[in-house]
Structure 1
Amino acid sequence: MTISLRIAGGRVTTPSGTIDADVLVDGERIAGLVSREFEVDAAEIVDATGKNVLPGMIDVHVHTREPGYEHKEDITTTTEQAAVGGVTTIFGMPNLQPPTTTAQTLDEVLAMYAEKSIVDYNHNPAATQPDEIVPMAERGIRAYKVYMVVDTGRTYPHPAGTGMHDHGDLLRMMDQIKATGKRFIIHPHDQALMDYIEKQYLDRGENTPQGYAQAYAERSGVIWDTAIDVVIRLAEASGCPVHIAHMQTKRSIEAVRRAKANGIDVTCEVNHWAPFLSTWNDVETLGPYALSYWVPDEGREAVWQGMRDGTIDMCSSDHAPHTREEKEIGWTQMWSSHTGTPGIQYYYPLLLDAVTKGQLTIERVAQLVAQAPADKFGLAASKGALEVGRDADIVIADLNAPWTIRNDGVLSRVGWTPYDGRTINAAITASYVRGRAVSIGGTVVGTPGQGRMALAR
């Protein structure tokens, strides 16, 4: 017997713990976790001595910007970043042009992925047209998405056709989605409260990064907390599995913790900016380049605790690239700036850096980035863990390799990262998708079209 690949000498993180083992890959799947002494012929042997071998990240919240906004990013540039960042599966988001709201637009987007993606993929269409819910489910999607928000002063990143904040409409959509067995991803936001709060800031002339940051965190994050309370209650009333994006307040995390204890099928995520890019110093020094959102210390502490204790199920990047021109206006007109930050290239390394600092265990990171996304989005038969029979989506990482993130290493089309100048201790040295290398030594070796749609098996 000859296997295609042996990853030898590493510390392998499995659902049962981290062990000294070699990983055997036969074709696209993991064929064994064996001792160093186990003898088998291998077409290729990769030396992982002194390194950690981990499951590839499943990032369920990625903005590829294609179609419609390719001046920011496209599917190929997104998945190049994914490859070097240890992300082996992405779920794209629907805020495109045209927005993904019908089976036809979904088919068009999936065809683009098939042609251009380097890593495996799925897509979260917007659940705003009731007649399209079942036809979109039939395409093999794992989830739907909706934004409970209407942009003020701009038309992006939450374009028309992707939003819904009427409670009756949300409940009606949950009833329909429940019948498909899919999960409903919701960007929480209390629009009525935000209209009132924003007007106060704008009337005072505080159209600045500091004003914007304070408005969205106003009154201990009331716009997030009330929206999440509504989502949880409607999930309980409908029985629809929901997934809450952008967790960032203490009260919201406590609400999710109680909901889970009460048996409500609610999952949630934390995005890269909450633990790593949300301090007041970030707002003042980076301005629009740090927003996304400001997370006050109380919220950030709750985020870290939720990541550790399992209240927060998973880490998803919310990769959201915008050009420098679209950001620069924010220094004086923040409500006109496109909010969001690129993050897919560096989230997994930042989490592994947190392991070196004692903030998380390596087993918990594997759960956050791979096991939980696979379990909660119906991919556990094929992805999410280093176990025999699952896809060989594998990352090799060196947790003793200090390096400094620089703009000149950014693969995003926008050419910048809010982490420019930050030194971390962990580096991803190789990534494999279904047994084929997509990055080696920080260089992309995968090719567009190599990715495949991630489906339940």
Structure 2
Amino acid sequence: MTRDLLVRGGTVVTPHGRFEGDVAVRDGRIAAFGRDLGSDAATPVLDARGLVLLPGIIDPHSHLWEAGFVSGPDFTDSTASAAAGGITTIIEMPLTVPEVLDETVLKEKAALGERTSHVDFALYGGVSPDRLHDLDGMWAAGAAAFKIFTCDTGCAMKGVIDDADLVDAMTRIARLGGLACFHAENDELLVANRRRLAAQERRDNAAFCDWHSETAELEAINRILFYAGRLGTRVHIVHVTSPEGVRLVERARGEGVRATAETCPHYLYLTEDDIAARGAWVTCAPPMRGPAAMAGMRARLDDGTIATIGSDHGPVDPELKLRASNDVFAGQCGMPANETMVPLMLNLAAEGFVSLERLAALMAEAPARLYGLYPRKGAIAIGSDGDFTLVDPGERWTIRQAELIGACGWTPFEGVPVTGKVKATVVRGRVVARDGRVTGEPGAAYVPRLS
């Protein structure tokens, strides 16, 4: 029996346990797994002895952005760095040019991705108050979720700021059975904070965190959860920065609200002190909080209260960061992150904050289930796509931009020592990256929502 690939001799880790053995892929899908699987001479063999084989890692929070933020008008660069970093599927946000606000643009973006992506991908639909009538078409075209900002985005895709618009959007998404993913910050508080800081002539690095205050984030989370409970909308709060935000989501879940929370590696490694010291190079919205918040988020990784990990990959051109040399508000928010996400999370496993089984849930099965891609993605099961992330959980190394391939040319984690390294990335039985370098030309699959 000819197979596309036989992965030989690894330690297979899933959310439900681990075993030593082989996994065989045929026609892009898992055909068998177990010990000492046979193969014919035509079957490529990937030696995984000494390595851990995880279900293919999914990044549910990716921003390719447009030319000007980083070089390149398509999927090529950011999916190359994703593949190098062990990610087999990305779920791509709608803030590209043009923004994904209707079915036509979603389908055009899917076609572009299939030509130029190194990894498989799903797509978000964008939510803008004047385009709510287009949600149905995007959902029918397989959108995995809808992205809502409760504050001004600075883009043509305006935030859903007014409560009446928010209720209308959430009502429509609930009717579809869709998932509403939220950037949660209170716009009125952001505007007032910025006005106050301008009056004080504050442009220092620490002013950024005063602008994007934790209060502004928590108020928006609380309001979203209230409406979700009233309307029956499934909601996912992305890039939650602190244990307080996670507690709000958990409390709502206890009251029957269908709500989940995501966090990102930068909230697990960086703090507001880094923003004060390094300025725009580590600014994102919402920003990192204090050391106690970072410690609290690390402590919650293994207890099930955080549903998913997303990179919030945003490859900003260095020139757009350098604009902030004398004014933190002049710098473009965002950080390249998909190439370092898996190693940073493996390091937290090595340090005892989270088990490898829990990482397989947080970074593969849970996002696949949440976004309607399971069991095609996120599982090591017969018939699932042959997607694997092979890692050496014990290899020690230091993150250096010189070893990374992202075109923006910098990383916020320069010099961070980690234990755990990606050795190979497999998408539907095809090895797309080895040892931090892509191994073939682009060409991937758009993965429409299954349910």
The aligned counterpart of 1:164 is 160
Q: What does the per-residue CA deviation read over 1:169-198, in whole Å, with 9 as the maximum and x for residues that have no partner? A: 111111111122221111001111122222
Equivalent residue for 1:105? 105
CA distance 1:115–1:206, shift in 2 (3 Å): same
- Correspondence for 2:30: 30
CA shift in 2, pair 1:73/1:413, >3 Å = farther
For 2:292 and 2:163, the matched residues in 1 are separated by: 29
Q: CA deviation at 1:67?
A: 6.5
User: Within 5 Å, which residues of 2 pair with 1:39-438?
Assistant: 39-41=38-40, 43-66=43-66, 69=69, 71=71, 74-128=74-128, 129-150=131-152, 155=154, 159-217=155-213, 221-280=214-273, 282-292=274-284, 293-438=287-432
Listed as ranges, the gaps of 5+ residues in structure 1 are: none
The CA deviation at 1:235 is 0.8
- Whole-Å separation in 2 of the counterparts to 1:70 and 1:84: 18
Please state how far the C-alpha of 1:40 moved relative to its aligned partner: 4.1
Is the contact made by 1:88 and 1:433 (CA closer than 8 Å) also made in structure 2?
Answer: yes
The 8 Å contact of residues 8 and 45 in structure 2, kept in 1 or not, is answered as yes
CA deviations 1:113-164 (Å, max 9, x no partner) are: 121111111111212211101111111111011211126xxx4xxx132411
Alpha-carbon spacing, 1:283–1:67, altered in 2? closer, same or farther (3 Å): closer
Whether the 8 Å contact between 1:66 and 1:75 is mirrored in structure 2 is: no
CA distance 1:179–1:5, change in 2 (3 Å): same
Q: Residue 137 and residue 4 in structure 1: after superposition, are their counterparts in 2 closer, same or farther (change >3 A)?
A: same
**Which stretch has the larger CA shift, 63-72 or 230-239?**
63-72
DSSP-derived class of the 2:230 partner: helix
Q: Deviations over 1:239-261 (max 9, x none)?
A: 11111111012321111111112
Shift of 1:445: 1.1
Q: Following the alignment from structure 2 to structure 1, what is the Cα–Cα distance between the partners of residues 333 and 70?
A: 17
Name the residue aligned to 2:9: 9
Q: The residue matched to 2:206 in structure 1 has which SS?
A: helix
Deviations 1:426-445 (A, max 9, x none): 11010011111110122101
Greater shift in the superposed pair: 447-456 or 325-334: 447-456
Q: Give the CA deviation at 1:68.
A: 7.1
Taking the aligned partners of 2:73 and 2:291, their CA distance within structure 1 comes to 32
Deviation at 1:73, TM superposition (A): 6.9
Q: Is the 8 A contact 1:270 1:312 kept in 2?
A: yes
C-alpha distance in structure 2 between counterparts of 1:453 and 1:376, whole Å: 14
Distance 1:348 1:375 in 2: 19
Partners of 1:214 and 1:294 within 8 A in 2? no
* Alpha-carbon distance between aligned partners in 2 of 1:69 and 1:333, rounded to the nearest angstrom: 19
3-state secondary structure, aligned to 2:147:
strand
| Equivalent pair of 1:69/1:97 in contact (CA under 8 Å) | no
Tell me, in whole angstroms, the C-alpha distance in 1 between the residues paired with 2:446 and 2:288. Answer: 36
Q: Please state whether the residue corresponding to 1:189 is helix, strand or coil.
A: coil
**In 1, Cα distance between equivalents of 2:105 and 2:70:** 17
- Compare 302-311 and 439-448 and name the one that shifted more: 302-311
SS at match of 2:125: coil
Alpha-carbon distance, 1:297 to partner: 2.2
Output the CA distance in 2 between the equivalents of 1:99 and 1:67: 13
Shift in CA distance, 438/456, structure 1 to aligned 2, threshold 3 Å: same
Per the TM alignment, residue 70 of structure 1 is displaced from its structure 2 partner at its CA by 5.1
Deviation at 1:290, TM superposition (A): 1.1
> After the TM superposition, which segments of 4 or more aligned residues of structure 1 sit over 3 Å from their partners?
37-42, 66-74
* Matched-pair contact (CA < 8 Å) for 1:430–1:441: yes
| Distance in structure 2 (CA, Å) of the matches to 1:453 and 1:252 | 31
Distance in 2 of aligned mates of 1:103 and 1:366: 32
Q: Which AA in structure 2 matches 1:372?
A: A
Q: Deviations over 1:338-365 (max 9, x none)?
A: 1111100010111011111111100111
Deviation at 1:216, TM superposition (A): 2.1
Does the CA contact (< 8 Å) of 2:69 and 2:315 recur in 1?
no
Give the Cα–Cα distance (whole angstroms) in 1 for the partners of residues 280 and 69 of structure 2: 19
CA-CA distance at 1:446 after TM superposition: 3.2
- Taking structure 1 as the reference length, the TM-score comes to 0.93
| TM-score (normalizing by structure 2) | 0.94
* CA distance in structure 1 between the partners assigned to 2:219 and 2:98 by the alignment: 30
Measure, in 2, the Cα distance between the counterparts of 1:96 and 1:194. 24
Aligned partners of 1:408, 1:260: CA distance in 2, in Å?
A: 44
Give the CA deviation at 1:106: 1.8
CA spacing shift, 1:243–1:202, aligned 2, 3 Å:
same
- Where does the alignment leave 5 or more consecutive residues of structure 2 unmatched? none
Q: How many percent identity over aligned positions?
A: 30
| Other structure's SS at 2:210 match | helix
The question of whether the paired residues in 1 share the 8 Å contact of 2:242 and 2:296 is answered with yes
Gap change, CA 1:73 and 1:406, over 3 Å in 2: farther
Instruction: Report Cα offsets for 1:300-355 as digits up to 9, x if no partner.
Output: 23322332211110001100111111111223222221111110001011101111
Residues 297, 70 of structure 1: alpha-carbon distance in 2 compared, 3 angstrom cutoff: closer
